[in-house]
Amino acid sequence: MSDGYLSLPPKMVFGAMPKEELRQLLDNYKVDATKYEPECNVALYRDDQNSVLFDVGAGPDFMPTSGKLLETLETTDLSPEDISHVIFTHAHPDHIWGVLDDFDDLLFPNATHHFGRNEWDYWWNPSTVDTIGEDRAAFAVGAKRRMEAIEDQVAFFDDGQEILPGIAARASFGHTPGHMAFEIRSGGDSVMIVGDALGNPHIAFERPDWHSGTDQDPQAAAATRNLLLDQISHEQMKIVGFHLPNGGIGRVEKTGSAYKFIGEQ
């Protein structure tokens, strides 16, 4: 479910990476290093009883190229009132600000909003706005305002917990202090919703150890990427990535000590 895309300064992502190796790797992928415009993909899961969104996009107040989820939803047979559950990977603007519509009302009024306990506690803490850094202070203010709006419809979960039948939480801390991925299993089939733990289709896979400027704890995020990639490739799981290309759906191949994202055709 497309929420549009972001337009970010490349330095924000790549600034701490070794410049020459980075240039060669991006050249190999034919990436234009003068811009960074990742897709925003909200995952929709449906079964006989539930219609579940993983994250809700950016809404109308973050960036003009994003906040398109409602338009995408209108192309389906679902209305916002039909969404029974929203499950959050984390509380950055492009993932949670979309809980409110143009009138600051809840966009998914009938949904239970599921939040990892660590992530909620971090953004709810009044000291976060003063400690997160000036460039992200607005993230903290915006997250808290939307958490207050959904407070009466929140259910908390912890690492390893089954949130709904077949959907289990998987700690993937680093991008934010409580970032979560989710394993969806049905019979022999399995999918990992990775959120922003794997934030691009090239560096994150070939050099998961490199630190990204979008991660709040780059060292923890690098460790998370390595663990996730090892599990996903070993178990031959499909993945859905919020910022991966062509809808974000694909699989992971291990190539020596590196990995490769293979998008679904």
Q: What is the pLDDT of residue 78?
A: 96
Cβ contacts of 49 within 8 Å, gap of 6 or more: 84
**What SS3 state is found at 8?**
strand
Q: What is the pLDDT of residue 45?
A: 97
Q: Which domains does the chain have, with CATH numbers?
A: 2-263 (3.60.15.10)
Q: What is the pLDDT of residue 257?
A: 84
H or E segment and range at residue 145: helix 137-150
CA 61, 5, 264: angle at the middle one, nearest 5?
145
Q: Report how far residue 98's alpha carbon sits from residue 246's, in angstroms, rounded to the nearest whole number.
A: 21
Name the stretches of the chain with pLDDT < 50. Answer: none
| pLDDT tens-digit series, residues 158-177 | 999 999 999 999 999 999 99
**What SS3 state is found at 20?**
helix
Structural tokens at position 151 = 């407070």
Main-chain dihedrals φ then ψ at residue 189, nearest 5 degrees? -95, 145
| pLDDT tens-digit series, residues 64-84 | 999 999 999 999 999 999 999
Main-chain dihedrals φ then ψ at residue 210, nearest 5 degrees? -70, 145
What value does the mean pLDDT of the chain take? 96
